[in-house]
């Protein structure tokens, strides 16, 4: 089974930025909501280990859903550039930048297509979310 590992590297501009690896190889950047005690739709999810399954979303089409998040559901990986595009989900991109005066991840659609292509043969993957600094950044 493939392992996705999300290293949360910083919280900046009311957003959480990270690096997503596949089996140890850095592949994409991520953008999530800031840590707000795992509150639905406004917080990133807790650090930890999760099962991730393929899903079809009426809004996003083919995607992957993070399972067994305490008190949360419908946590998806999907394309998006700015934190307001996420209601607690994990956005995938390939370049840090600015968009409409907001810190953003760019080339998100292309990066998300790469993400889907990478996982197209998988029925399940493991996601491990850690702080790159081993501290309190969630």
Residue-range domain boundaries for the chain: 3-131
Tens digits of per-residue pLDDT, 55-86? 999 999 999 999 999 999 999 999 999 999 99
Tens digits of per-residue pLDDT, 84-133? 999 999 999 999 999 999 999 999 999 999 999 999 999 999 999 999 87
Distances (CA, A) of 2 to 29, 89, 138: 18, 20, 23
In this model, does residue 135 exceed pLDDT 60? no
| Predicted local confidence at residue 137, as pLDDT | 47
What CATH number does the domain located at 3-131 have?
2.40.440
Distances (CA, A) of 66 to 51, 76, 118: 6, 6, 17
CA–CA separation, 7 and 129 (whole Å): 6
Within its chain, how far is the Cα of 33 from the centroid? 10
Which residues pair with residue 20 across a beta bridge? Answer: 6, 28
Output the pTM of the full model.
0.95
| Predicted local confidence at residue 138, as pLDDT | 52
């Amino acid at each position: 089974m493939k392992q996705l590992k999300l290293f949360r590297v910083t919280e900046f501009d009311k957003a959480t930025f990270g690096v997503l690896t596949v089996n140890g190889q850095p592949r994409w950047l991520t953008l999530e909501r800031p840590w707000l005690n795992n509150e639905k739709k406004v917080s990133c999810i807790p650090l930890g280990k999760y099962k991730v399954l393929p899903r079809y979303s009426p809004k996003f089409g083919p995607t992957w859903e993070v399972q067994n998040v305490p008190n949360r559901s419908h946590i998806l990986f999907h394309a998006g550039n700015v934190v307001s595009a996420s209601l607690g989900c994990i956005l995938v991109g390939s370049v840090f930048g600015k968009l409409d005066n907001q810190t953003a991840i760019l080339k998100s659609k292309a990066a998300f297509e790469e993400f889907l292509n990478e996982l197209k043969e998988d029925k399940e993957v493991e996601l491990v979310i850690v702080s790159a600094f081993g501290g309190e950044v969630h």
